[in-house]
Amino acid sequence: MTNAPAKDPTSRIVPRRVRIKQFGVELGPVVHLAQERTRLANPQFDHITVTPRGTTLGAEISGIRLAGDLPDEVIDEIRRAWLDYKVVFFRNQPISSVDHVEFARRFGQLEVHPFLMGSDDHPELVRFEKGADTAGFENGWHHDVTWRAKPSMGAILRAIQVPHTGGDTAFSDMAAAYDGLEDEMKERLDGLQAAHDYTLAFGSFVDSDRKAAMREEYPVVHHPVVRTHPETGRKLLFVNAYFTSHIVDMESQKSNELLTYLISRASIMEYQYRLSWEPDQLTLWDNRIVQHFAMSDYYPDVRIMERASIIGDRPI
């Protein structure tokens, strides 16, 4: 007679997160993702094929070519998929810079970045060309340009040349991060404002004789710590280590402690989708709801990308 296998000793535990306070480690399933995961499981579109790739974010769109003048109904479905899946991508899209800019303009007015300059022909198109002489600088969790009064709505990034290994981009769902907070923390964050300042990440790029003019043009701005997505109504965390300097009207140490905790939420792997790049791949992400992290793990190989960003609204 064989003995029956012993049951998993955790089988009688109600699914929940357990925190080891000493090290800030959390164990257990992230059960609150189930509803959003289920909602996204069976996409229904008429003009595009959408294949979910992540849990609450990340999907591949296929069945269309992006070069040329796409019908409005196709653009509308791409936008709906973008809102639902937060990060969407297209493989095998050998388009030009002109095509890239024209496609991006179908979603809104494009942004010109004051620190990451575009070309004379396409000032809206930022080129990231990394290699042995220019290492990556993007390896940290952040929303783009939150130091603007109106941070970008989203970005469209095109892969021109990618390394054989490495160079992935990870994305983190900050609505899932908010939903995962304890009710007491949500109450604490209600109504709080955070200061966002370009100098934290870009201050070293500004010549000393231009600092006063740039500060006047781009003053410190205040955004809600918890913003509401203007199209979906989702609440989400809107602070990041690149540009958020402090919580307004909060003592410095308490502000730093709170921000350190909130910023760490982007690092929870269950909230993430990690994207591997191929040449001629286009990826659209909703900058309002996701943070991203470009992996700088391919040095000294070459990685060349071009990005168009769409102007957004003032966070509320």
CA angle 235, 79, 42 (to 5 degrees): 80
State both tokens at 77. Answer: 């479905």
Using pLDDT thresholds of 50, 70 and 90, give the confidence band for residue 8. low
Could you give the count of Cα atoms lying within 13 Å of 230 in the half-sphere of its Cβ? 13
Using pLDDT thresholds of 50, 70 and 90, give the confidence band for residue 78. very high
Active site residue 144: yes
State both tokens at 307. Answer: 């990005």
Active site residue 100: no
Angstrom CA distances, 263 to 21, 26, 29, 168, 181, stand at 17, 15, 20, 21, 12
Active site residue 292: yes
State both tokens at 134. Answer: 């220019």
In tens, the pLDDT along 170-200 reads 999 999 999 999 999 999 999 999 999 998 8
Residues 101 and 109: beta-carbon distance below 8 Å? no
**256 pLDDT more than 80:** yes
Q: Is the pLDDT higher at 117 or at 102?
A: 102
| Residues with Cβ within 8 Å of residue 31, at least 6 apart in sequence | 15, 16
**45 pLDDT more than 70:** yes
State both tokens at 62. Answer: 């296929």
**1 pLDDT more than 60:** no
Report which of 184, 203, 163, 189 is spatially closest to residue 301, judged by C-alpha positions: 163
Whole-number pLDDT of residue 239: 98
Active site residue 229: no
Please tell me which residue in 100, 142, 143, 288 is annotated as part of the active site: 142
| Cα separation, 221 vs 149, whole angstroms | 6
Please tell me which residue in 143, 265, 288, 292 is annotated as part of the active site: 292
In tens, the pLDDT along 221-230 reads 999 999 999 9
Please tell me which residue in 113, 143, 144, 179 is annotated as part of the active site: 144
Average pLDDT over residues 25-41: 92
Whole-number pLDDT of residue 6: 61
| Cα separation, 131 vs 237, whole angstroms | 33
Q: 3-state SS string over 133-173?
A: CCCCCCCCCECCCCCCCCCCCEEEEEEEECCCCCCCEEEEE
Residues 178 and 237: beta-carbon distance below 8 Å? yes
Whole-number pLDDT of residue 174: 98
Q: Is the pLDDT higher at 133 or at 100?
A: 100
Q: Note the CATH number of domain 23-310.
A: 3.60.130.10
Whole-number pLDDT of residue 133: 87
